[in-house]
Chain A
């Protein structure tokens, strides 16, 4: 099971947080801060696993993270997940984001956090891995975006934002 997925930048600003177990908003923020603290002080060329994610209870849990440019992608998982598998999953996630946003950068995540959530929802559901095939994920995301567009055309003012 995946317990939580966090994305934050080099300064610890959250860009996406998805908890598959309930915590109060304050605890969530504390977890994000603490995780950032743990992850950010690690060198670039050390392993990508961290044991005992402080707040995210028991000793069974692990933090598995990757650092891309300005962003940290952190998955908190328990022992039923394969460590290397999750690393691959993070890679798939990032590549998918890259395809969907065309050269993804932090700004995309800042302004379109809802879209990131939608993409993530096609990969991980309720803490379990739903799909790992990037093409399949993109197909489903595109189909839903198309639906959204057809609706927006009628119901929303045609307004474009960055």
Chain B
């Protein structure tokens, strides 16, 4: 053996290692690829050798080559080999390689399951760590399912290093195997309060990541996070939590109110910019969620804006960028606060940093108003001219259009100006956004009827100067504009001053070089123009001119008939024949104009982009059904080419619909308006345009104001938008003066009539549009479906994680646990022989694998369905997949959780309600409510759940957070028990089967469930009782603070009266003190934070600080309260004694057998023992009782012998060895504090003497 190793190392001397490889590559700069290919050949040779060191070296080199882009998946199996080396060095190399190149498609991954499991349970924490790190990169659904339980156990590992990694990787496991989320969640939640800050941070990280995608499921954690936020000092954790709150507040505005104060404090106090920034962000989110009717938050807004201004003014570009980013969020709801910083933002447009300029542009979008739109756009136009680089210029262009067209052209007061801007934009060279400009032109020309004449004039000019636009044709997107120009000129040709000239321009030979779809529009619209020309000339009885026009068409059209583009060719030849025919008629002096224009008659209505989608499918119509038998494949492939513009189809389908009579139309409009008004999602058109639509049905009715301009509208050459700015100024001035005059006379009347179009808020009210423009609303189908369904990505992995976490776990939701232990638990001494995996199970598992795989998919699908229905659904025993646990190594808390009947989610929600509604009181009082959602079931729920006095025994015993369903119907309980029995029967069956396989019954960490069901248990014992009220209590150690215990008291109102003003007080001893709010005296009572209607019970928590925990304590106390019946109210009091047992200082802490063995060997522990006679209960009941009542956990159990562990809040270890034989139980115990141990044993004895 030794010789072999030496030989191996000598061989290695001649191998290249990673450094040699890198050096070699650097020395072969010219023929790198060739050099690497020889290296890969060498690596292949090395991988064939037996020596693991050589293999590992080869794999290490492959990892490097992978980074350079070489596919190394061929070596996947060798990587697995290196991963399974027993030496950490090689293992790490293997896992690194795997994490770099394994993915879901790697087939050898399924071979790694057992290896990873072995590494996860390795006694060496770094083996475990490396495995976790690797797994986090290549976890697959199969791996996640098979290893979920192992990783979950690691979440309670003794080493924080492992705990934090295990917690983090759970997120990946959830993603790949969503079924694991619910079973694992309680423990994950527990880790939020882990003593180690790293673990805590990891847990926060995971929950934030989960909550970001499905925030509503995590609302109930808000109190816990709130506590963390106010107590944590770790900026990373704070940032995460604050970000999380940002996601939660939109769902729960009350949360926001609670947050504002601590967040503002943080903003004022923190010096970390990152934290400050996130705080501001979340405050913004809060303010957005509160935006309705919370006027008194203007201070917070001001604070945010002010802080952001500081960021933006900072010389650090990063802060500037982020400041702008956050500013844009405020803008959405509080545009006014931002608008006052317009100067700053405009300044940022000149920044040398493009990212910052783009951010500033985004901000401008929201800052425009009717007042400043022209000015801002002018500034942007200047930037367009200056901008270098087409990307930024294109961005500017789209932004200008966005800004102007936003909310249905709300801010445009002068559409002539806008058209001029669009025309100016066409001068941009090399822009990709020609189609954008074009569609704007079309949209404006169609929808703003008053502007058509002007638009047509401008478009005619564009057509005339087309050669300017089409300079370098092919990659020039701007020629799209001609499409719009031609169409507008054709469609609204009645407005053309000189249709002849335009017609001529449209038929120039150069047009033939335009893209096909534009040529087609040219040809079609030439025909429209022709019709107009004919009509014009016929009126003037000038047949000569009309004939000339026909002649022109006949001469020019053949050019298009020869076009390669089918559409152009078809239209051209059609129209050519038509014109020839008309020419014949003209020669016979027949009047044709009427007929020709009839071809293109009819008003055109704009159609909303989503209109088609919104037509509801009539009942009984199945669009997917075949009308006839499906045709053969070959026929079905003649799809039409995609339309370039949404409007294109309007051209084909000219409105030929018969005129519906006016009344009917009005009725429909009214109905639609009604529907839109009631529909909160309908935002398509602003109220102003609605009004206009109704009032002005036709073009004739639009009062087109004559503009008495000194400058003629038709500007020779290209128009200049700038002039409008000046004009606008003048006009406004004039208007203002005029208005003042008028206001003196008739104030109200004028306002109501003349300015129906004005919808702008306050300050904008005094700006009227230059002329009353008519924005036609887009058509929608009569009974359009209102839903604006956002198409969510169906492939989003987070969709599967939208799981209700407050619902109690169902039995079917266990994580799959191996049925066979492939490896007995090892004590730390025997870490040498890793290869000693039992043969039998290995074979089995591989056999099973195929079966499993089949079941897997089926099963996963099934459980997903289950969740969808949100129903508790039980599988038959046969249905249960093979991997479902026969024995379930679960901790006692889990067993109990399973036994919990469905907690109504409404109760959970009411916890949150309670937390949210409680006005912030003194800090301690807050804390009383904070540690976990203090259960405060809404009166309705508890009332419904029949307050049976017996039902007060909570089965639930989760130590950390007591579920609020303490009160349930007896019947329900019985049912539940029945169910459980059934379940157990099934399990027994399984168990039997399992024993025949000869598996060993060692349970790592938890009680075993077998034969009989556990009787219901409760730790709550009676505190005091009188005719009005009953108090039961339970004491738990506080994980966070070694000197504190939490006393949970359930108050139950037994009377028919209302109980209020409850005050809870105890006489402190030297050793134990009730935690009172700051400022309260040592004898003051604590107000119980709720009132009790008749028959209702509720729980409150009180925190006590203790010094010494080795002795049990008793504290005397009093509860005072007011009983309020219909006619009277009396003051009552009830004395009680709080008994702090030593058990209550113990905390259930899991322990691994190796750590346990080490602890026992250490010799620091004093021992003691106890014998119990005549105990005739099953051993597992006995263990469960000790676990439950005395907060122990089972470390290991073999037959009728078990080792157990617990830890006190002050860190004392308590170890028990429990043996049973013939109704005699002997307990040998060890602890580092003998008197504590003595007392605990006494208490255990007492527990068993009671039953």
A joins B in a complex: yes
Set A46, A113, A157: member contacting B353, Cβ < 8 A = A46
With a cutoff of 8 Å between Cβ atoms, the chain A residues found around residue B198 in the complex are: 130-131, 133, 136
User: Is B682 part of the binding interface, using a Cβ–Cβ cutoff of 8 Å?
Assistant: no
Interface size class of A (residues with CB under 8 A): 35 or more
Residues B317 and A47 in contact, CB atoms below 8 Å apart:
yes
Q: Which of A14, A47, A111, A144 contacts B355 (CB 8 A)?
A: A47
A85 contacts B239, C-beta separation under 8 Å: yes
B9–A157 touching, CB < 8 Å: yes
**In whole Å, how far is B677's beta carbon from the nearest beta carbon of chain A?**
34
Complex interface: chain A residues within 8 A of B23 (CB): 111
In the complex, the chain A residue whose C-beta lies closest to that of B21 is A111
Residues of B within 8 A of A84 (CB): 273-274, 277, 318, 322
Residues of B close to A17: CB separation below 8 A: 67
Which single member of B161, B239, B355 contacts A49 (CB below 8 Å)? B355
**A161 at the B interface (CB under 8 A):** yes
Q: Can you list, as one digit per residue, whether each of A111-144 has a CB less than 8 Å from chain B (1) or not (0)? A: 1111001100100011111111100100010011
Q: Quick check: B206 and A128 within 8 Å, CB to CB?
A: yes
Report, as a range, how many residues of chain B touch the other chain.
35 or more
Those of A56-81 within 8 Å (CB) of chain B: 80
- Among A43, A144, A155, the residue within 8 A (CB) of B53 is A155
Given A45-B317, A128-B209, decide whether A144 and B88 contact each other with a Cβ distance below 8 A: yes
Residue of A nearest to B72 (CB): A25
Among the stretches B131-139, B915-923, B1032-1040, B1129-1137, the one at the interface with A is: B131-139
Kindly state whether residue A83 has any CB partner on chain B within 8 Å. Answer: yes
Which chain B positions have C-beta within 8 A of A155?
A: 5, 9, 53, 87, 89
Mask of B49-60 contacts with A, CB within 8 angstroms, 1/0: 000010000001
Minimum distance in angstroms from B200 CB to a CB of chain A: 12
A22-B103, A125-B168 known; A82+B66 contact, CB < 8 A: no
B13 within 8 Å of A (CB atoms): yes
Q: How far is the CA of A131 from the CA of B130 in the complex (A)?
A: 15
B339-359 interface bits toward A, Cβ cutoff 8 Å, 1 = contact, 0 = none: 000000000000011111010
Q: Are the CB atoms of A161 and B19 closer together than 8 Å?
A: yes
Q: Does B92 contact A (CB under 8 A)?
A: yes
Interface contact A47-B356, CB-CB below 8 Å: yes
Q: Is the CB of B71 within 8 A of A148?
A: no
In the bound complex, CA of A129 to CA of B202 (Å): 8
- Contact at B136–A126, with CB atoms within 8 Å? yes
Q: Is B96 an interface residue (CB 8 A)?
A: yes
A-contact bits for B962-997, CB 8 A (1 contact / 0 none):
000000000000000000000000000000000000
CB-nearest residue of chain A to B161? A140
Answer yes or no: B191 CB below 8 A from chain A CBs. no
Contact A28 B69 (CB under 8 A): yes
Nearest CB on A from B143, distance (A): 13
Report how far A148 CA is from B87 CA in the complex, Å.
8
What is the distance, in angstroms, from B399's C-beta to the closest C-beta of chain A?
15
User: In the assembled complex, which residues on chain B have CB atoms less than 8 Å from the CB atom of A98?
Assistant: none
The answer to whether A126 touches B126, judged by C-beta atoms less than 8 angstroms apart, is no
In the complex, which residue of chain B has the Cβ closest to the Cβ of A117?
B96
- B1-40 with Cβ < 8 A to chain A: 5, 9-10, 12-13, 17-20, 22-23, 26
CB of A148 within 8 A of CB of B318, answer: no
Q: How far is the CB of B54 from chain A (nearest CB, A)?
A: 11
CA distance A112 to B12 in the complex (A): 19
Interface hits, A139-162 → B, CB 8 Å: 140, 143-144, 147-148, 151-152, 154-157, 159, 161-162
Q: Assuming A50-B355, A128-B205, is B126 touching A159 (CB within 8 A)?
A: no
What is the CB-to-nearest-CB distance from A37 to chain B, in angstroms, rounded to a whole number?
13
Cβ distance B273 to chain A, nearest Cβ, rounded Å:
6
Which residues of chain A have C-beta atoms less than 8 A from B1197's C-beta? none
Contacting residues, chain A, for B132 (C-beta < 8 A): 125
Given known contacts A47-B317, A118-B96, A157 and B13 CB-to-CB distance under 8 angstroms: yes
Q: Is there contact, CB below 8 Å, between A129 and B236?
A: yes
Complex: A22 Cα to B172 Cα, angstroms: 14
With A22-B103, A84-B277 as known contacts, state yes or no: A128 contacts B171, CB within 8 Å.
Answer: yes
> How far does the Cβ of A72 sit from chain B's closest Cβ, in whole Å?
15
Within the assembled complex, what's the spacing in Å between the Cα atoms of A25 and B356? 33
A80 with B168, Cβ < 8 A, contacts A46-B355, A47-B353, A117-B96 known:
no
Chain B, residues 834-848, CB within 8 Å of chain A (1/0): the string is: 000000000000000
CB <8 Å contact, B67 and A113? yes
Q: Please, how many angstroms separate the alpha-carbon atoms of A101 and B320 in the complex? A: 34
**A82 pairs with B355, CB closer than 8 A:** no
What is the chain A residue whose CB lies nearest that of B26? A110
- Of A46, A88, A125, A144, which contacts B165 at CB under 8 A? A125
B1206 interface hit (Cβ, 8 Å): no
Q: How far is the CB of A58 from chain B (nearest CB, A)?
A: 9
Residues on A with beta carbons closer than 8 Å to the beta carbon of B60: 114
B172 (CB) vs chain A CBs: closest residue: A126
Could you tell me the distance between the alpha carbons of A2 and B161 in the complex, rounded to whole angstroms?
Answer: 21
Is A100 at the interface (CB under 8 A from chain B)?
no
**B70 near A25 (CB under 8 angstroms)?**
yes
Q: Encode B188-223 as 1/0 by CB contact (under 8 A) with A.
A: 000000000010011001101100100000000000
Residue on B nearest A152 in the bound complex, by CB: B89
Chain A 5-37, CB-CB to B under 8 Å as 1, else 0, gives 000000000101110101011101100000000
A60–B71 alpha-carbon span in the complex (Å): 29
B421 within 8 A of A: no
**Complex partner residue of A110 from B22, B206, B278, B318, CB under 8 angstroms:** B22
Residues in B neighbouring A118, C-beta threshold 8 A: 92, 96
For B67, list chain A residues within 8 Å (CB): 14, 16-17, 113
Asked whether, in the complex, the Cβ of B202 is within 8 Å of the Cβ of A82, the reply is no
Please give the distance in Å from A3's CB to the nearest CB on chain B. 12
Determine the residue in chain A with the shortest Cβ distance to B88: A147
Nearest-CB residue, chain A, relative to B5 = A155
B208: nearest residue on chain A (CB-CB)? A80
A144 to chain B: which residues have CB within 8 Å? 88, 92, 126
What A residues does B320 contact at CB under 8 A? 47
How many Å lie between the Cα of A127 and that of B22 in the bound state? 28
**With A47-B353, A111-B18, A128-B206 known to touch, is A83 a contact of B322 (CB < 8 Å)?**
yes
The residue in chain A whose Cβ has the minimal distance to the Cβ of B211 is A80
Complex alpha-carbon distance, A29 and B129, angstroms: 29
Docked-complex contact B321 and A126, CB < 8 angstroms: no
B64 within 8 A of A: yes
CB of B104 closer than 8 Å to a CB of A: yes
Q: Which residues of B86-137 are within 8 A (CB) of A?
A: 87-89, 92-93, 96, 100, 103-104, 124, 126, 129-130, 132-133, 136-137
Complex CA distance for A121 and B22, rounded to whole angstroms: 22
- Complex Cα spacing A14 to B318, Å: 25
Collect the chain B residues with CB atoms within 8 Å of residue A16's CB. 67
Q: Which residues of B contact A46 (CB under 8 A)?
A: 317, 352-356
Flag if A49 contacts B321 (CB, 8 Å): yes
> B625 at interface (Cβ–Cβ under 8 A)?
no
In the complex, which residues of chain B have a beta carbon less than 8 angstroms from the beta carbon of A114? 18, 60, 63-64, 93, 96
Given contacts A111-B22, A159-B17, 14 further A-B contacts (CB under 8 A): A14-B67, A47-B317, A82-B239, A82-B278, A88-B274, A111-B18, A117-B96, A126-B139, A128-B202, A130-B164, A144-B126, A155-B5, A156-B9, A157-B13
Q: Can you list 11 A-B pairs with a CB-CB distance of less than 8 A? A: A25-B66, A45-B317, A46-B317, A80-B208, A83-B322, A88-B274, A126-B139, A128-B171, A147-B88, A151-B87, A161-B17
Residues on B facing A (Cβ under 8 Å): 5, 9-10, 12-13, 17-20, 22-23, 26, 53, 60, 63-64, 66-71, 87-89, 92-93, 96, 100, 103-104, 124, 126, 129-130, 132-133, 136-137, 139, 161, 164-165, 168-169, 171-172, 198, 201-202, 205-206, 208-209, 212, 235-236, 239, 243, 273-274, 277-278, 317-318, 320-322, 352-356, 358
Query: Interface residues, chain A, CB within 8 Å of chain B?
Result: 1, 14, 16-18, 20, 22, 24-26, 28-29, 43, 45-51, 80, 82-85, 87-88, 110-114, 117-118, 121, 125-133, 136, 140, 143-144, 147-148, 151-152, 154-157, 159, 161-162
In order of increasing CB-CB distance, the 3 nearest A-B pairs are: A126-B136, A84-B274, A47-B317
